[in-house]
Amino acid sequence: MTAAVPAEDHHVHSTFSADATSSVAENIAAARARGLRVLCVTDHVRSGTTWVPEFVAAVRMAAPAPDGGGLAVRCGVEAKLLDGTGRLDLPGRLPPLDRVLVADHQYPGVEGPLPPAEVRHRLAAGQLTADQVVDTLVLATVGAPGAVVEVNEKWRCPGPAAVAAFRAAGVPVVPSTDSHRAADVGVYHRVPSLLRGAEP
């Protein structure tokens, strides 16, 4: 049986992210064209990011009215986990957001974020076990206030075991493309099987 393609995309970058090429309006138009029900424009932030108020205003202004064609547009930021306590790399005094998306591009190690290659090295060397990695990632995510975990089309992660662990811990899991251009908004090839693989 084929897994259903999600009608939501919770991680779409706009030109507020330095590495993206499509505007907020272009992403909304692409989401409508693909028949999505939910779109979350979610741009990269760090502790020193200063443009978040302008970003939130741009998304709110471009979003259709609540009854405008069945598409709900949300506004969020993507922040890296800094350590196993769930501390996030966020600027202070954020305006109201719909979503804080936890990025798992790096592993929240005891001594700070570790790149995936270092985690693989430590797994191969027996310094970490797969269970330890999943447990630390889940506990750090649970510790992040209001955090949501994406199942990411671009990076094919997290895997089904981690998705199942997040769900069991009560962490919301959402589908995303991690699109950096409107042409990729809502286009899924891998996410449906990752979500299906995590079902009990």
Residue 9 bridge partners (DSSP): 39
pLDDT at 72: 94
Predicted local distance difference test score (pLDDT) of residue 2 = 44
Distance separating alpha carbons of residues 67 and 193, to the nearest angstrom? 31
State percent of the chain over pLDDT 70.
94
Looking at domain 8-197, what is its CATH homologous superfamily? Metal-dependent hydrolases (3.20.20.140)
pLDDT at 1 over 50: no
Q: 């609540």: which residue's tokens?
A: 66
Listed by start position, the domains of the chain span 8-197
162: exposed, middle or buried (Cβ count in 10 Å: 0-12, 13-18, 19+): buried
Q: What would the pLDDT profile of 122-162 be if each residue is shown by its tens digit?
A: 999 999 999 988 888 878 877 776 667 888 898 888 888 88
Average pLDDT, the chain: 87
Q: Is the pLDDT of residue 194 over 90?
A: no
